[in-house]
Homo-oligomer: A and B are copies of this chain.
Amino acid sequence: MDLLEPFSTRVDLREGLLGNGVHRLSRRISDMRGMFQDEQAWAEIAAQGDPLVYEVFVAPAPESEGHLCHGVTVLHPGRVGDEYFMTKGHYHQKSGTAEVYYGLRGNGLMMLQTRWGIWRTVDIAPGTVVYVPPHWGHRSINTADEPLVLLFAYPGDAGHDYGTIESSGFARLIVARNGRPTLVENPSYTAEDPG
């Protein structure tokens, strides 16, 4: 029996996850080609400073069955055209696995979608616990002027499928209209054929 030592990490609302926390990835505007609707605005921002969109910090839990991968996402404020900064979004490779998010700082929402185009949104504020049930792809969106900081946990064997959303997008976009977050149809979206 493989016995892993217990450990702790420490959330920091600016720095992510301290202590045993590890910086897993940074995504800049240039890393998100094709994910925002306004391609000209995207190209200009990528050329002029290429700001960070989000960072992910993880605790050193194994990515295997029975374990719980967990960490912190720091999603910076900003827009590309009228579309708010967001994460790439993903399904789990092992589709029947859930994820829990906890709002630590900022305001935004979680966009959720099935492979057949059913979609939902859930508002996130400090203290909100969002349950992403199995089979729902999901993306975080920062609709405020400060970082959206989220704690997350998912089964160690869940895995990530980023490709589906990179190629098909979400059915709805979250854009600023009269300064307020508003849902609009995504003209580029194509649902998978339920077969």
Which A residues form the contact surface with B (CB < 8 A)?
1, 3-12, 17, 59, 61, 65-68, 70, 94, 96-100, 102, 110, 112, 114, 118, 120, 122-124, 127-136, 151, 153-156
Contacts and interface: CB of A to CB of B under 8 A. Distances in A.
Contact of A4 (B3, B59, B67, B133): B133
A129 B67 contact: no
A44 B124 CA distance: 45
B129 A66 contact: no
A72 to B, nearest CB: 8
Contact of A5 (B120, B123, B153): B120
Contact of A155 (B68, B112, B136): B68
Contacts of A65: 96
Nearest to A130: B8
Given A4-B134, A8-B129, A8-B130, 12 more contacts: A3-B133, A4-B133, A6-B130, A8-B124, A8-B128, A8-B131, A9-B129, A11-B102, A67-B134, A68-B155, A70-B131, A102-B151
Given A59-B129, A61-B98, A68-B99, A112 B153 contact: no
A8 B122 contact: yes
Contacts of A12: 127
A136 B70 CA distance: 18
A68 B122 contact: no
Contact of A114 (B3, B96, B110, B127): B3
Contacts of A17: 129
Given A1-B135, A133-B6, A135-B3, A11 B127 contact: yes
A112 B68 CA distance: 17
